[in-house]
């Protein structure tokens, strides 16, 4: 039973990678995290990955160059 479930999950990651070809190549581990967080629903996972890359492209400051001291100073007002 576990082997069958593992193969099904592997097929889901392959399906997702081929259905989203214009996004950067995501690691299988990342896709599995997206699948797990969406209760292994492929359609919901596609939407989540789509949203993730859109938000990441439009708001790069949320994902890189975090300066914790600047955040601390901003909250000291």
Per-residue pLDDT reduced to its tens digit, 32-77? 898 899 998 889 988 998 898 889 889 888 888 777 787 788 788 6
Q: Is residue 7 part of a domain?
A: no
Whole-prediction pTM: 0.61
How far are the Cα atoms of 7, 18, 22, 72 from residue 50, in angstroms, in the given order? Answer: 24, 13, 10, 32
pLDDT of 9: 54
How far is 45 from 29, CA to CA, in rounded Å?
13
Q: Residue holding tokens 């859109």?
A: 54
The residue with tokens 């990651």 is 13
Helix (H) and strand (E) counts for the chain? 4, 0
Q: What is the pLDDT of residue 4?
A: 43
Q: In the prediction, which pLDDT does 1 show? A: 37
For residue 64, give its domain range: 24-75
Task: Report the number of distinct structural domains present in the chain.
Answer: 1
pLDDT of residue 47: 92
Give domain status of residue 62, yes or no: yes
């Amino acid at each position: 039973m576990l082997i069958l479930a593992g193969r099904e999950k592997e097929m889901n990651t392959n399906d997702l990678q081929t259905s989203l070809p214009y996004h950067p190549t995501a690691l299988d581990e990342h896709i599995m995290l997206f699948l797990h967080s969406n209760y292994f629903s492929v359609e919901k996972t596609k939407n989540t990955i789509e949203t993730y890359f859109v938000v990441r492209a439009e708001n790069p400051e949320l994902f890189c160059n975090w300066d914790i001291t600047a955040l601390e100073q901003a909250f000291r007002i």
